[in-house]
Structure 1
Amino acid sequence: MRNQLIVQWELLCRRGVVFGLWSACASVGNILGACLASSVLQYGYEYAFLVTAAVQFAGGIVIFFGLLVSPEEIGLPGIEAEENFEEDSHRPLISGAENEDEYEANYSIQEGSTVTPIQAISFHQACCLPGVIPYSLAYACLKLVNYSFFFWLPFYLSNNFGWKEAEADKLSIWYDVGGIIGGTLQGFISDVLQKRAPVLALSLLLAVVSLVGYSRSPNDKSINALLMAVTGFFIGGPSNMISSAISADLGRQELIQGSSEALATVTGIVDGTGSIGAAVGQYLVSLIQDNLGWMWVFYFFILMTSCTVLFISPLIVRETCSLVQRRQARVLSE
Structure 2
Amino acid sequence: MVFSESNRKERWMASALTSAQITWRYRIFVLTWLGYAGFYLCRKNLSVIAPELKDMGMTDMQYANYIFAYSLMYCIGQFVNGVLSDRFGPRTIVGVGLFLSVITNIFLGFSGTVFVLVLMLCSLNGIGQSTGWSGLVKNMACWFRRKERGVVMAWWGTNYVLGGALATMFATYCIYRMPFFSEYGWRSGFIVPALLLSVIATGYVLFTRNKPSDVGLPDFPEDDDIESDSQSGDSAAGNAVHHTSTSIILEILSKPSVWIIALMYFFLKLTRYAFLFWLPIYMAEGLGYSGEEAGYTSSIYELIGFTGALTAGYVSDKIFQSRRFPVGTLFLWGLGVCFFLHPTIASWGHLANAVGIGLIGFLTFGPDTLMTGAAAQDEGSQRGAATAAGFINGVGSIGQMISGYVVAVVTGAYGWNALFYLFVVFAFLSGALLASKWNHVPEFRKKV
TM-score of the pair, normalised by structure 1 = 0.81
Q: Deviations over 1:10-52 (max 9, x none)?
A: 2321211111111111122212211111112234211111111
Residue 397 (structure 2) aligns with: 275
Residue 378 (structure 2) aligns with: 249
Residue 152 (structure 1) aligns with: 278
116 and 310 in structure 1: CA distance in 2 versus 1, 3 angstrom threshold: closer
**Aligned alpha-carbon RMSD (Å):** 2.2
Matches within 5 A, 1:194-209: 194=321, 195-209=323-337
Letter of the structure 1 residue corresponding to residue 145 of structure 2: L
Task: Tell me if structure 1 keeps the 8 A contact 2:212–2:219.
Answer: yes
Match of 1:65 among 198, 201, 206: 206
Letter of the structure 1 residue corresponding to residue 237 of structure 2: V
Q: Distance in 2 between matches of 1:206 and 1:40?
A: 36
Letter of the structure 2 residue corresponding to residue 48 of structure 1: G
Residue 308 (structure 1) aligns with: 430
**What is the CA-CA distance between 1:130 and the residue it aligns to?**
3.4
**What is the CA-CA distance between 1:214 and the residue it aligns to?**
2.1
Residue 100 (structure 1) aligns with: none
Q: Which runs of 5+ in 2 are unaligned?
A: 1-134, 177-181, 442-448
Match of 2:163 among 29, 42, 57: 29
Task: Tell me if structure 2 keeps the 8 A contact 1:182–1:237.
Answer: yes
Q: Distance in 2 between matches of 1:112 and 1:141?
A: 37
Q: Deviations over 1:113-166 (max 9, x none)?
A: 343512132534421123011111011111111111111111111111211111
Q: Distance in 1 between matches of 2:160 and 2:224?
A: 33
Matches within 5 A, 1:125-164: 125-164=251-290
**What is the CA-CA distance between 1:84 and the residue it aligns to?**
8.0
Q: Distance in 1 between matches of 2:224 and 2:296?
A: 48
Match of 1:218 among 321, 333, 347: 347
**What is the CA-CA distance between 1:268 and the residue it aligns to?**
1.2
Letter of the structure 2 residue corresponding to residue 64 of structure 1: V
Task: Tell me if structure 1 keeps the 8 A contact 2:150–2:370.
Answer: yes
Residue 303 (structure 2) aligns with: 177
166 and 27 in structure 1: CA distance in 2 versus 1, 3 angstrom threshold: same
Letter of the structure 1 residue corresponding to residue 304 of structure 2: G
73 and 154 in structure 1: CA distance in 2 versus 1, 3 angstrom threshold: same
Confirm or deny that 1:290 pairs with 2:409.
Answer: no
% same residue: 26
Task: Tell me if structure 1 keeps the 8 A contact 2:332–2:364.
Answer: yes
Q: Which runs of 5+ in 1 are unaligned?
A: 92-110, 253-257, 321-334
Confirm or deny that 1:12 pairs with 2:138.
Answer: no
Task: Tell me if structure 1 keeps the 8 A contact 2:261–2:434.
Answer: yes
156 and 84 in structure 1: CA distance in 2 versus 1, 3 angstrom threshold: closer
Q: Deviations over 1:182-229 (max 9, x none)?
A: 111111111121221111111111111111222221353322222211
Task: Tell me if structure 1 keeps the 8 A contact 2:326–2:434.
Answer: no
**What is the CA-CA distance between 1:248 and the residue it aligns to?**
0.7
7 and 84 in structure 1: CA distance in 2 versus 1, 3 angstrom threshold: closer
Determine helix, strand or coil for the equivalent of 1:315. coil
Moved over 4 A (4+): 82-85
84 and 64 in structure 1: CA distance in 2 versus 1, 3 angstrom threshold: same
Letter of the structure 2 residue corresponding to residue 25 of structure 1: N
